[in-house]
C-alpha cells in the first residue's frame, strides 16, 4: 500500500489511506490529506453516461487509492441502493431560473447520509484481521442519526453517539433513540453540545484509557474530518454536472457555480476537490448563518473564533471552528504544513489567526462567502414557497439568501445544494409557510399539517418515526462518559 496521506500539520509519518480512514484524525491533530490531489484529472466526457454508482467508482478510485476496485464496488453497492428513495441518489431540480441539488434522499433525510452510508464499509475494509473499531460521535443532531444508520450492523465496528440532553429537535432525538442494530449505542449527555464534544475529544487523547481497552480495539471518528466521509461527497458535484448536461442546461465544459450551506466546511471543500479533479467550477459560494466567522475570514483573512456562539434556526451550521478549512489552507498555501501548523497553534492559543494577503487572494479566486440571519432564512422559506412552490429547509434557505446576493455580480449557471428535507426542521419550516400554527407544539402534528397544506410527500423515515419503539434510554453525566464507553465496548464486542 502506498503511504501517501500526510497530516496537514506535517508532524506525522505518511500513512496509507486505509490507515487514515481507520485513524480519523492524525496524531498531531492535523487532518489527513493527499499531496497529489489533482495531479490526475478525470475525463469528463467519459463520465457522462454513468449511473451514480459507476460514477462514484471512477471518482473514488482517484481519491482513495489503496482500496481495490472490488472493495470500492462492493462498498458503493451497499451504500447507495434502495435505502435512497430515488435511483438518481442526488437528484437535480430546476425551478424557473435556478437549480437545486437535493442531497437528502437517504435514510435519515440529511445530506450526511452520502458520506456516512459509505464510510462504514470503507472502515470495515481498513481493519486488519481481528481488529475492531468503536466509532465515537458527539452530535448536535444530523450527524448522530446518519452515523447510526450507516454503522448499524457493520461487522467489527460499533458506534456510540452522544448528544446534549434537551439540545436537539424532537424529530432528531426520536430518530436516534429508535435506531435498531446490535452494535449501536446512544446516550444523552448532561450539558450542551460543546461539553459532549469536549468529552469525546478527551477520550480520544487519553492514552491510558485507550490502553485499558482491548488491544485490538481502535477508537475512531465519524466526523467530516475523516477522509472516508469527505471523499464520497465529491461524487455528487460530478453527478449534478452530468445531470445539467443531460437536461441541456449546459454543454460539456461550461463553467458552473455552486452555493453550499456551510458549517464544518466539509460539503463545500468536497466541491473544491471536484474542481481540483477537473470539474469546471468557477466559484464556490460559502453560505454561513449568523455564526459568521467564515464570512469575515473570506473578506479579511482573519479567522477569529472569539465571539458569542449563537443558536440559530439552522443548527447544523452553528459552529465556530470549521475544521475542514484546514485542508483548504494546506492546498492553497502550496502544501506548506509548517505554515498550517503555525496558524492552527495560534487558533488554539489565541483564538485567532491571520493569513497572508497572497493566500487570501488565492482563496477569493475560488470562493465567495456570505451569511444569512434567522430572519433572512424564514423570509426565504416563505417567499420561495409562495412564489415558486418549492419548500426549503432552513439550512438550504440560508444558502438561497446568499446565492441571490452573489448572483447580482455573476450570472454563471448556479446550483444550490439542499442539505436537508424541510420536514426534518419542522419547527422552523411549518410556521414560515402555514397560515396558523399557534398553539401546536407537537412536531409530528406539524409534519402532518405541512404535508396536507403543501402536498409535498413526507420522507418515509420521518413518516414512520412516530410509531417506532424507543430502544435507547441512557442519560450519562459527562464525568461518567469514559466508564460508559468502556462498558459499551464490552457489550458490543463481547470482550
Ligand atoms: C452538516 C450540515 C450542514 C453543514 O455541512 P458542513 O459539511 O459541516 O459544512 C448543512 N446543512 C445540514 C442540514 C447539515 O446537516
The answer to whether position 246 is within a domain reads yes
Output the residue whose Cα is nearest ligand 1's atom 8.
264
Q: Is there a domain that residue 254 lies in?
A: yes
What is the position in ligand 1's atom list of the atom closest to the CA of 141? 15
Q: How far apart are CA 325 and CA 313, in angstroms?
A: 23
CA neighbor of 329 nearest in space, from 317, 337, 319, 321: 337
Which of 141, 263, 323 to mutate for ligand 1's pocket (most ligand atoms within 8 Å of CB)?
263
Distance 421 CA to ligand 1 centre (A): 12
Using DSSP's 3-state secondary structure scheme, residue 245 falls into helix
Distance of CA 95 to the CA centre of its chain: 25
Domain count, the chain: 1
What is the distance in A from the centroid of ligand 1 to the CA of 399? 11
Q: CA–CA separation, 116 vs 106, rounded Å? A: 10
- Determine which residue's CA is closest to atom 1 belonging to ligand 1: 316
Q: At what angle do helices 193-204 and 481-493 cross, to 10 degrees?
A: 60
Backbone angles phi, psi at 109, to 5 degrees: 65, 25
d(CA 348, CA 275) in angstroms, rounded, equals 30
Per-residue pLDDT 10s for the chain (495 aa) are 789 999 999 999 999 999 999 988 898 989 999 999 999 999 999 999 999 999 999 999 999 999 999 999 999 999 999 999 999 999 999 998 899 999 999 999 999 999 999 999 999 999 988 899 999 998 888 899 999 999 999 999 999 999 989 888 889 999 999 999 999 999 999 887 777 878 888 888 888 888 888 888 889 888 878 999 999 999 999 999 999 999 999 999 999 999 999 999 999 999 999 999 999 999 999 999 999 999 999 999 999 999 998 999 999 998 888 899 999 999 999 999 999 999 999 999 999 999 999 999 999 999 999 999 999 999 999 999 999 999 999 999 999 999 999 999 999 999 999 999 999 999 999 999 999 998 999 999 999 999 999 999 999 999 999 999 999 988 999 889 899 999 999 999 887
> Is 224 close to ligand 1, i.e. is its CB under 6 Å away?
yes
User: Concatenated DSSP letters for 97-152?
Assistant: TEEEEE---STTSBTHHHHHHHHHHHHHHHS-TT-EEEEEEE-SSHHHHHHHHHHT
147: in domain:
no
First to last CA, the chain: 30
Q: Residues 6 or more apart from 459 whose CB is under 8 A from it? A: 85, 104, 105, 109, 421, 423
Please indicate, yes or no, if residue 392 is contained in any of the structural domains. yes
Task: Please give the residue range of the domain that contains residue 388.
Answer: 92-108+230-466
Cell representation of residue 34: 493527499
Spacing, Cα 74 to ligand 1 middle (Å): 27
Containing 308, the helix (H) or strand (E) segment is none
Which triple of cell numbers denotes residue 469? Answer: 419503539
Q: Considering the domain boundaries, does residue 391 fall inside one?
A: yes
User: How far apart, in whole angstroms, are the C-alpha atoms of residue 239 and residue 236?
Assistant: 5
Query: What are the residues whose beta carbons fall under 8 Å from the beta carbon of 120, sequence distance 6 or more?
Result: 150, 151, 154, 157
Instruction: With respect to residue 441, please indicate whether it lies within any of the assigned structural domains.
Output: yes
Residues 295 and 114: their CA atoms lie apart, in Å, by 26
424 Cβ inside 6 Å of ligand 1: no
State which ligand 1 atom lies nearest to the alpha carbon of 142.
15
Q: Which residues contact 436 (CB under 8 A, 6 or more apart)?
A: none
- H or E element in which residue 217 lies: strand 217-221
Contact 446, 94 (CB under 8 A): no
Pocket test for ligand 1, best of 116, 221, 419 (most atoms within 8 A of CB): 419
Q: What is the CATH number of the domain that holds 387?
A: 3.40.50.1100
- Assess contact for 421 and 110: CB atoms under 8 A: yes
* Residue 422, ligand 1, Cβ within 6 A: no
Helices (H), 370-433: 374-388, 394-407, 426-433
Angle at 378 between CA 436 and CA 234, to 5 degrees: 130
The reply to whether ligand 1 has any atom less than 6 angstroms from the CB of 265 is yes
Q: Is residue 37 part of a domain?
A: no
CA of 263 to the centre of ligand 1 (A): 5
149-198 pLDDT, tens digit each: 999 999 999 999 999 898 888 899 999 999 999 999 999 998 877 778 78
Q: Which helix (H) or strand (E) holds 272?
A: helix 266-276
Residue whose C-alpha is closest to residue 146's, from 114, 103, 180: 114
C-alpha span between 224 and 32 (Å, rounded): 11
Residue 322: half-sphere exposure toward Cβ, Cα within 13 Å: 29
Mutate to test the pocket of ligand 1, among 102, 104, 106, 111 (most ligand atoms within 8 A of CB): 111
- Using the atom order of ligand 1, give the atom closest to the CA of residue 425: 13
State the catalytic residues.
Answer: 112
Asked if residues 45 and 73 have their Cβ atoms less than 8 Å apart, the reply is: no
| Cα(281)–Cα(284) distance, integer angstroms | 7
Q: Rounded to the nearest whole angstrom, what is the distance from the C-alpha of residue 287 to the centroid of ligand 1?
A: 11
**Max Cα-Cα span within the chain:** 61
CB 246: neighbour CB atoms within 10 A? 12
Task: Please state, in angstroms and rounded to a whole number, the distance separating the CA atoms of residues 126 and 124.
Answer: 5
Whether residue 125 is contained in a domain is answered as no
Amino acid at each position: 500500500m502506498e503511504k501517501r496521506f500526510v497530516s496537514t500539520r506535517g508532524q506525522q509519518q505518511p500513512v496509507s489511506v486505509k490507515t487514515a480512514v481507520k485513524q480519523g484524525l492524525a496524531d498531531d491533530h492535523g487532518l489527513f490529506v493527499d499531496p497529489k490531489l489533482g495531479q490526475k484529472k478525470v475525463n469528463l466526457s467519459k463520465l457522462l453516461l454513468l449511473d451514480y454508482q459507476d460514477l462514484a467508482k471512477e471518482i473514488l478510485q482517484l481519491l482513495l487509492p489503496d482500496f481495490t476496485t472490488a472493495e470500492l464496488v462492493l462498498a458503493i453497492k451497499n451504500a447507495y441502493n434502495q435505502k435512497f428513495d430515488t435511483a438518481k441518489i442526488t437528484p437535480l431540480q430546476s425551478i424557473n431560473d435556478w437549480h437545486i441539488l437535493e442531497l437528502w434522499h437517504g435514510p435519515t433525510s440529511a445530506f450526511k447520509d452520502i458520506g456516512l452510508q459509505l464510510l462504514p464499509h470503507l472502515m470495515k475494509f481498513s481493519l486488519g484481521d481481528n481488529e475492531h473499531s468503536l466509532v465515537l460521535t458527539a452530535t448536535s443532531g444530523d450527524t448522530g442519526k446518519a452515523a447510526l444508520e450507516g454503522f448499524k450492523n457493520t461487522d467489527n465496528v460499533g458506534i456510540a453517539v452522544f448528544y446534549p440532553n434537551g439540545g436537539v429537535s424532537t424529530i432528531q432525538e426520536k430518530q436516534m433513540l429508535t435506531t435498531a442494530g446490535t452494535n449501536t449505542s446512544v446516550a444523552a449527555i448532561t450539558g450542551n453540545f460543546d461539553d459532549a464534544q469536549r468529552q469525546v475529544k478527551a477520550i480520544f487523547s487519553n492514552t491510558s484509557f485507550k490502553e485499558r481497552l482491548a488491544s485490538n480495539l481502535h477508537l475512531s471518528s465519524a466526523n467530516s474530518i475523516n477522509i472516508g466521509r469527505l471523499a464520497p461527497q465529491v461524487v455528487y458535484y460530478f453527478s449534478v454536472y452530468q445531470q445539467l448536461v443531460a437536461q441541456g442546461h449546459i454543454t460539456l465544459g461550461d463553467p458552473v457555480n455552486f452555493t453550499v450551506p456551510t458549517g464544518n466546511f466539509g460539503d463545500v471543500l468536497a466541491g473544491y476537490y471536484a474542481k481540483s479533479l477537473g470539474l469546471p467550477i468557477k466559484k464556490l459560494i460559502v453560505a454561513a448563518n449568523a455564526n459568521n466567522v467564515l464570512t469575515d475570514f473570506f473578506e479579511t483573512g482573519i479567522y477569529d473564533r472569539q465571539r458569542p456562539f449563537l443558536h440559530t434556526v439552522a443548527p447544523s451550521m452553528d459552529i465556530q471552528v470549521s475544521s475542514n478549512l484546514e485542508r483548504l489552507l494546506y492546498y492553497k498555501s502550496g502544501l506548506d504544513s509548517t505554515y498550517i501548523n503555525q496558524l492552527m497553534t495560534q487558533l488554539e492559543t489565541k483564538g485567532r489567526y491571520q493569513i497572508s494577503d497572497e493566500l487570501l487572494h488565492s482563496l477569493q479566486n475560488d470562493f465567495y462567502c456570505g451569511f444569512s440571519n434567522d430572519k433572512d432564512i424564514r423570509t426565504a422559506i416563505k417567499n420561495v414557497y409562495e412564489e415558486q412552490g418549492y419548500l426549503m429547509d432552513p439550512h438550504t434557505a440560508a444558502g438561497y439568501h446568499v446565492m441571490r446576493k452573489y448572483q447580482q455580480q455573476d450570472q454563471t449557471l448556479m446550483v444550490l445544494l439542499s442539505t436537508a428535507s424541510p420536514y426534518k426542521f419542522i419547527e422552523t419550516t411549518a410556521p414560515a409557510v402555514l397560515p396558523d400554527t399557534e398553539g401546536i407544539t407537537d412536531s409530528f402534528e406539524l409534519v402532518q399539517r405541512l404535508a396536507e397544506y403543501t402536498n409535498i410527500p413526507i420522507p418515509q423515515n420521518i413518516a414512520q418515526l412516530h410509531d417506532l419503539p424507543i430502544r435507547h434510554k441512557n442519560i450519562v453525566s459527562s464525568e461518567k462518559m469514559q466508564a460508559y464507553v468502556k462498558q459499551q465496548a464490552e457489550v458490543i464486542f463481547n470482550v
